[in-house]
Structure 1
Amino acid sequence: MIGSAILLALAGISLSFLPQEISTYLSGSSHPVFSLALQLLGALYLGMAMLNWMNKNKLLGGIYGRPITMANFIHFLVGGLSLVKATSVANQPAFIITTIIYSTFAVGFGYLWLNTPKSVK
């Protein structure tokens, strides 16, 4: 949870405060609508980061932790699959690294989602 919270917070802060620079890096130009979409994506990442950070010490799975685990699993699974498709079209190092990170988190949250939680004490 801490790792995903930090990753999502870094992405959220970057997208919120540097949308034009990121837009230029990704597409070669900075369109105002694309920059706005990146800022909104940054807000979503920050919200998800805060959700993960606030639940870092909770037992994942079960009745209360299952929705958080499911939300993270879906986010990282769908994002990872989208990144696999993007990486196959545009073979950029940033896409490859992000794809590996997303896939790792998808596997981890999928494991947590499918298995019974165990308290570590």
Structure 2
Amino acid sequence: MMTLSAAVLAVLGIAFTFLPEELAVYLGSEPGPLDVLQLQVVGALYAGFAMLNWMAKGSRVGGIYNRPICIANFAHFFIGAMAMFKFLFRYPEQPFTLWILCAVYAGLAAWFGLTLYRHPLPAQSSQV
């Protein structure tokens, strides 16, 4: 889960950091200098979040373990998915890649949401 989210965020971070103008044009916008700067800052946020998830990939996540990381990921993916759903249902003629990204975000939101309230260790049976 942490590796997948790190990979998704790293791809987005690299893309928005190094190709902000091209991505904006692909999505149907004519970006000005401030728009390009905003996309690059968003790319930096994605890259930082990707690094956080990559560094936590070997740790236990769930229940009380790494709860701040789990909550941050859940909030990011849930809020992002809801914003994309709202946008895509209002403007359905958007590129198919945006629909795919929305589905990935929704899946990761569900996964982090479940992980948030589950203990990462399997239940131990008591044998007498």
Q: TM-score, normalised by structure 2?
A: 0.88
- Aligned-partner residue type, residue 99 of structure 2: I
Offset at residue 105 of structure 1 (A): 0.1
Higher relative contact order (CA 8 A, sep 6+): 2
Q: How far apart in 1 are the matches of 2:29 and 2:69?
A: 36
> Which residue of structure 2 aligns with residue 97 of structure 1?
100
SS class of match (2:15): helix
Which consecutive residues of structure 1, in runs of 5 or more, have no partner in the other structure? none
> Which residue of structure 2 aligns with residue 118 of structure 1?
121
SS class of match (2:66): helix
Q: CA RMSD of the aligned region, Å?
A: 1.3
Q: Structure 1 stretch 20-29 or stretch 70-79: which is displaced more?
A: 20-29
Q: TM-score, normalised by structure 1?
A: 0.92
Offset at residue 25 of structure 1 (A): 1.7
Offset at residue 44 of structure 1 (A): 0.3
Identity of paired residues, percent?
42
Q: Which has the higher helix share?
A: 1
Q: How far apart in 1 are the matches of 2:101 and 2:91?
A: 13
Runs of 4+ in 1 over 4 A off after TM superposition: none
Which consecutive residues of structure 2, in runs of 5 or more, have no partner in the other structure? 123-128
Offset at residue 4 of structure 1 (A): 0.5
User: Would the aligned equivalents of 2:63 and 2:117 in 1 still touch at CA under 8 Å?
Assistant: no
> Which residue of structure 2 aligns with residue 18 of structure 1?
19
